[in-house]
Structure 1
Amino acid sequence: MNIKSKYKNYPVKVMAFGALSGLLLTAGAQFLFAHTSAAAQPPASAASAKTVSISAGLQSAVKVTTKAFNEKTANYNATLQIPVIAGLLDKQYQAELNDMISRHAMEDFTVIKKQANDEAASLKKNPDAGYEFHPYEVIVQYELKSDGSRGVNGILSLKILTYVYTGGAHGSTRVDTYNVRNKTAAARITLKDLYGNDYRKIVNAKISAAIAKDPESYFQDSFKTISDGQSFYVQDGRAVIVFQQYEIAPYAAGIPEFNIALPGHKSNAPGNLSSLNVIVNGKTLQSSALYANEEGIAMAPLRSIASALGYKLNYSAPAHQVELSKGGTTLYVQINRDIYWTDIMPEFTLGAAPALKNNQVYVPVSFFTKVLKAKAAYSTDALTITSASK
């Protein structure tokens, strides 16, 4: 592979860790960090493989297993879930990609381990330094966004999250994305490949419009244009543009992501969506019109449907946030931002941001199936949603 690196630091307390971050473009993937030195691999006793079930019904789907590495001492805790890809048509590229992903994770761990041990040793020599040592932490997790099968046009898209805590109020998470065209000769997928020569104009306009709807969540005038190697992943007929923490928004805003439908992507929503009735657990809801957003995603009123499913809702106008609770579980959605989370799970996305329309909060229909675990089905005249227990 022809590898080119351009390093870019992010505001992470651990500067050595930040120095490992950069932009790496390869023949078949997009990365947000690059390492060039070899790192020690985990001992055989520390690594194990666990199969992850993905898109079982699709032919030629790439398979992903997890190589787990865990190490905990008084100074640090490492929990690495390293993806191992199998099933790419280009076996050489697959081997190089797997090796690179593994080395990156282990090198990040090596940096954090050294810094934790060095700081702990320094404090032992100087116990009057004026602050308390807290164990460092590094966690690596991944999300398979597109499995490289014919059903997703041969696109393999992988998102890797690296969380690091080095003391203070909170840690910091870095996002790295890999996008590969699954062909005999694997090809890197770029935004230009997806949107054509005007990709920058198209993507910039979408992001600027999204920020304009919720300007308080972003640094003023922080976004001008996407970078040449802008991070993104592909999922469900859309590209999701990803920015790092602090890049265009404060820490409280999380990791900014913007969904943009791919050219030619057909909406899964029925053409007569706005005329459909909404039936929840056998009862037809009143004043619960559906609509399709600009990306063609079916949107449904949150309060009426969630209430019919047994959830209590509380809306905070200052925070532009809705809180849903049921059976000891609390879920949160934020207006104009494709961010959803619970009191026990980190943030996740659904491809569309909650929106205010006709004084109602609307969410994608997938919110009820993927988050509230209800069942949903379209018929010629209705969207029927049923609690999983029924």
Structure 2
Amino acid sequence: MHHVADLALDLADFITASPTPYHAVAEAVRRLTAAGFTEQPEAGEWIIEPGGRYLVRDGTLLAWWQPADARPGTPMRIFAAHTDSPTLKVKPRPDTGAAGWRQIAVEVYGGALWNSWLDRDLGLAGRLALYDGSTVLVNVARPLMRVPQLAIHLDRQVNQGLTLDAQQHLLPIWGLGSPSEGDLIAFLAGEADVDPDEVAAHDLVAHDLTGPARLGEEADLLAAPRLDNLASVHSGLTALLDAAGSAPGVVPVFVGFDHEEIGSGTATGAAGPLLETVLTRIAGGFDARTASFARSRALSVDVTHAAHPNYLDRYDPTHRSLPNGGPALKVNANQRYATDAPGAAAWARACRDAGVPSQYFVGKNTVPCGTTVGPIVATRLGIRTVDVGIPVLSMHSARELCGVHDPGYLVAAATAFMTDTN
């Protein structure tokens, strides 16, 4: 098992390097390349030689290890996560403002806790699309924007209930003057060292600049932005690298989807065709995939809710999960999570083999739960899928909290799952 402190530090570095899905994919590719993986171009000839491969489409990444004994129909062990997080996304015409303030027009991406974005020093990151068809990553990792709260003197009832209007109250300020004096895209083009006249479009989001930090008397907690779901992406990538070369008889696969936070219904989301297409080719073609998929298993990995001590009435009293208790198996009778009994048994075997503790998360009957990419993967592919995740507090906040030990537990259990030939 990886040393807890080293893995927590590495997770912190991964999060800091990944303010957007595009940056997360770029950092993952850097790590895969350093480990000897090579790119499989999506439109190129399929590489069948043994070894590590990765395939990129925008903010989605697939990577796998092709063992030397792989044949058509070889089963796969899939780790599925997502690269995106709730945030504020810049609109196509970003320059706006009022009353002598320059502001940036944004809309909410995903189910963000809006108030958590107030009064934070924010950077801006994403990609610029150029007229020649290329894209350039950009990351302003210094204080650039801020969404200011209204002073309590002007809203004496604010502590009895904060009401925010996404159109009116979430626009960041980034300077003084009229909107005509601002040109955000020209500024970002300068940051990326490209000609602003060549920028045709953009995908840009805000990100919190407060770095990850261990906290608590024993430093056994980790506070960081985007734990949902970069903690899972990092663990899946690490598990794949650990599994590479040590899994004869199965093909370990990692996929980090974009757009989970907005429903997955995109070309690079879990509901799109990309995973099915790639897995079909890994399996040896359409005729071979039936046998392969029937013997394959998928692990859908997304953070889950840690029991909040101030709101225990929102949780099922016998299925609470806590940080540093190990990853939680997520179960829902209505299949909002894809776990079933045989899948749960496979997960329990992986945890036992890895010497890792595990726990359960089941929602309170009167509090609807969220969902994951798990039911989508299971429905699209017919592959038995299990939902798990490490417990966090403040899910969908600009800054979340998890246990320092849980990422290591997840890596160990996931590695066992991805190399399990039973």
Q: Report TM bin, short chain.
A: under 0.3
| TM-score normalised to structure 1 length | 0.26
Return the structure number with greater helix share: 2
Q: Which has the higher contact order (CA 8 A, sep 6+)?
A: 2
